[in-house]
Structure 1
Amino acid sequence: MSEWESNGIRCTFQTDFKSISSTQLAEGTVHEWYVYKNEKELYSILKLFGEITEKFGLKWFSQNIASQPFTIPNYLGNDWLKSIDDFIQTNQLELGSSSSLVKLDELISRGLNQNEIYLLDFCFGEIIVKHFGAVWEFDKEQGPMIKNIGGLPKFNKSPHNLVEAVLRQDNLTLQRYYNDIKFVVDQL
């Protein structure tokens, strides 16, 4: 590690799905990275970060409030089976085919209620499980997770978080997330 990297620090503001560097937020009036040589310089930089936070960060946070944590239901349970099957049949989805991703993205663009979002979460996750190999696991904090994608022990995804990101940003699609996952697995 170079001397610059070991003594470099920067300021970034982040909520659950958004982040911005202090440089972007202050429209280039502050540096992206600050390098310090000793504790006194580090203290000065941290003091500056406090000033940047007061001047720019607090307003940004008030405009980008983090969503309140909630519990994602365990749609892997038996009580969801009929709803999942009905959703798959109604929307003519084939979870063994990546062509169903187009249909899932179309459903998102039309709008979904919260229950339908969970059903879509399952379908997207199941496509990943069937195509790349993975296992479903319920996490009390993150909800249903697909783990060990492509046999990679640390390659885990929350279908719900990916679907929520697509719902929030017009330029994202489930097809893109699928292709990103495919790229990682293909590198094996």
Structure 2
Amino acid sequence: MNITKCIEDILLDRFAQFGFNYEKSDTGWTYIREFGGVKEFIEIEKSNWYENAISCEYRKGTSTRNTIAFLRDRIEQVHVFSDESTLKEELKLIVDITEKYALKWFEQIKVKKKDLPDNFLKEEWAPLLQSFIRKNSIKFDNIESILILDKMLKKEVSKEEIYSISYCFGEIIKQNFGAEWDYSPEDGPFINNIAGSEKIALKPFVLVTKIVMNPDVLSLEYFFINIKSAVDGIKN
């Protein structure tokens, strides 16, 4: 069963009608459109907890909404399928949810034009980052440090702590898989060429911000597992 082909066959043209452009990576399938300088995302990923399932999330600014949140008869936060036929049924459901509910949700979410995250790769950030690392005993070559960072994100965190956690998670990815930091005028610092693949990139600040908004659903451990799965897929 070719999940990518099913997603492209059913979602590509339909979402294009809504103004979304398609981006494929080794970690998922993303559709993006922009209004007034603000980007809106439809993000689809494979589930790490179910063998045959995908999740679909809408994101605008710091606000996110799962497709299942618009339904009353579903418990799992994923779309479960057993074969190509049931996968296509779930994808058609995603189209239906997007048209009936998500487009209106995007309109209701009001955000200012995106403020760029500070470039915490600059030299002036080094003392604050090193202090944070020492204080919380973060070790980049030990994935147990991810649990320390996740525990912090369960509580209220300051802007500086969000940047520090973003940096630390990026360094953990870099140390464990091999990668390099890069900078985008649009997204700020990000991790590129993970495990030597140009297709696998990571925006730590974006992920940490998503977790802050949904601490009971998302975690750095969850995203680490997604990256590891993508890296293992390349090796195999």
TM-score past 0.5 threshold:
yes
Match of 1:111 among 156, 168, 186: 156
Match of 2:139 among 78, 83, 94: 94
Q: Please identify which structure carries the higher strand content.
A: 2
Distance change >3 Å, CA 83–CA 20, structure 1 → 2: closer
Task: Name 2:181's counterpart in structure 1.
Answer: 136
Match of 1:156 among 197, 201, 209: 201
Q: Superposition pairs for residues 57-68 of structure 1, below 5 Å? A: 57-58=103-104, 60-61=105-106, 63-66=108-111, 68=113
Match of 2:211 among 133, 155, 166: 166
* CA distance in 1 between partners of 2:69 and 2:150 (Å): 31
Q: Identity of aligned pairs, percent?
A: 27
Q: Which runs of 5+ in 1 are unaligned?
A: 34-48
- 1:157-187 Cα shifts (integer Å, max 9, x gaps): 1000111111111211101100110111012
Task: Name 1:181's counterpart in structure 2.
Answer: 227
The Cα shift of 1:92 comes to 1.1
Distance change >3 Å, CA 20–CA 9, structure 1 → 2: farther
Q: Secondary structure at the match of 1:70?
A: coil
- Asked if the contact 1:87–1:119 (Cα under 8 Å) also holds between the matched residues in 2, the reply is yes
Q: Secondary structure at the match of 2:181?
A: strand
Distance change >3 Å, CA 8–CA 24, structure 1 → 2: farther
Q: TM-score, normalised to structure 1's length?
A: 0.73
Q: Secondary structure at the match of 2:154?
A: helix
Distance change >3 Å, CA 63–CA 149, structure 1 → 2: same
The Cα shift of 1:77 comes to 1.0
- Asked if the contact 1:18–1:64 (Cα under 8 Å) also holds between the matched residues in 2, the reply is no
- Asked if the contact 1:15–1:64 (Cα under 8 Å) also holds between the matched residues in 2, the reply is no
- 1:87-129 Cα shifts (integer Å, max 9, x gaps): 0011111111100000000111122101110011000000000
Distance change >3 Å, CA 181–CA 8, structure 1 → 2: closer
Count of matched residue positions in the alignment of Structure 1 and Structure 2: 163
Q: Please identify which structure carries the higher helix content.
A: 1
Q: TM-score, normalised to structure 2's length?
A: 0.59
> Larger Rg: 1 or 2?
1
What is the alpha-carbon root mean square deviation over aligned residues? 3.3
**2:79 aligned with 1:74, yes or no?**
no
**2:64 counterpart letter in structure 1:** K
* CA distance in 2 between partners of 1:70 and 1:111 (Å): 21
